[in-house]
Amino acid sequence: MNADNIMSARADEMQPPTPPTARELFRSFLRLGVTAFGGPAMIAYIRRMAVDRQRWLKAAEFDDGVALCQMIPGATAMQTAAYVGLRVRGVAGAAVCFVGFGLPAFVLMMLLAALYAEARTQPVVVAAFSGLGAVIVALVANAALTFGKAILKHWWHNVVAGLAAVAFALGGSPFLVVIAAGLLGFLLHNSSPVAAAPAELAHLPHTTKAVVMIAVVAVAVWLALWFTQRQSAELAALMARIDLFAFGGGFASVPLMFHEVVEVRQWLDGRTLLDGIVLGQVTPGPIVITATFIGQRVAKLPGGVAATVGVFLPSFLMVVGLAPHFDRLRTSPMVNRFVNGVLCSFVGLLLTVTGRFAQNVAWDWPRAALAVGAFVALRLNVDILWVVLVGTGLSVFLCL
């Protein structure tokens, strides 16, 4: 290869790739959504796709999105998918990424909820979910390691991440943990001053008009439901309120769901909802997909759709509405110090989630082998889709 060709190849490598179409974004996140196990752990896999492989975003842009999603209520992985789409294709891109990423979980949970009474005692189903729980532990542990290596650069990063993990494990308020981590990041960054974000990272345009339009349409649809499908409207309103208070990701929504659905309204008994929560953990998507299970069991298809939209729409609107303002704030070194602390708290959250998932697995040698094998495969960069598919098959073979 001559010098001109070498220079041309290097120039091509430096050029950002052509922005993907909405269809390409939807297809990419749909495929990722099929393997979206482990809740917030999926953020590491979104990063690998959007930053490392496809180069749709710069690492700094992605990290800003994670910090924003960590500070607002809702399912963090779903919000991160929306943030990637927003940066690449605006509000329409955010919508297709959000829907594509969550669609597999919605469809599967609707199916499982419809078959719940018959399927929950089938040996093959029990074995598949039982072994898959061990694979999920490996997925989350790998995500914690991957994200930790990308974020934890200084001694104080490890301190903040460790303290956050302890606070999350002890049941501290996720909102207060995140704020405290940000303040610690601000205070402990004296030894390594933070520069402002690079000027070449373009700011997002304002999205207020789009957010208002979506909210108006949502309210109109809800009013129509109120007069035609009252229980579905009640489900949507309840799940929207739960989403607004789910600071720290989907796990914060679980006790709220149990209180409102079982204790206050008595729509489901405790055993049934606990089974739904388990399904929310061992199926793709965030654990708040349990809302789909609740909606389907209470009001069939309309209830499932209404509950799903209710539990995801408020946090989607917050990401789309707040991202442009957060985007401008990040040019301040002072804000960046706070953001770095928030990112460290996310590593602590992943460590805590790893422990929680591990506690829910009935460990024996087949499940331990599944977890170790899945972890090694992920560290060797085996595609997560194959890890999940093979892990599911081996779960049935080893745990039946």
- Quick: pLDDT tens for 186-241: 887 665 444 444 444 567 888 899 999 999 999 999 999 999 999 999 999 999 99
Residue 200 lies in a domain: no
Q: Structurally, how many domains does the chain consist of?
A: 1
Cα angle 150-24-310, degrees, rounded to a multiple of 5: 80
Q: How far apart are CA 302 and CA 279, in angstroms?
A: 20
| pLDDT of 9 | 44
> Model pTM?
0.72
Segment 307-366, tens digit of pLDDT: 999 999 999 999 999 898 887 776 677 777 887 787 788 788 778 878 877 887 778 888
Domain around 59: 19-195+207-399
Residue 14 lies in a domain: no
Residue 160 has pLDDT above 90, yes or no: no
Q: State the chain's mean pLDDT as an integer.
A: 82
Structure tokens at 298: 């209470």
Return the higher-pLDDT residue of 320 and 139.
Answer: 320
Q: How many CB atoms lie within 10 A of CB 204?
A: 18
Residue 10 has pLDDT above 50, yes or no: no
Segment 360-389, tens digit of pLDDT: 777 888 888 888 998 999 888 887 778 877
Residue 169 lies in a domain: yes
Residue 13 lies in a domain: no
**Cβ contact 320:211 at 8 Å:** yes
Residue 140 lies in a domain: yes
Residue 2 lies in a domain: no
Residue 57 lies in a domain: yes
Return the higher-pLDDT residue of 272 and 250.
Answer: 272
Q: How far apart are CA 336 and CA 193, in angstroms?
A: 10
Residue 96 lies in a domain: yes
**Cβ contact 336:194 at 8 Å:** yes
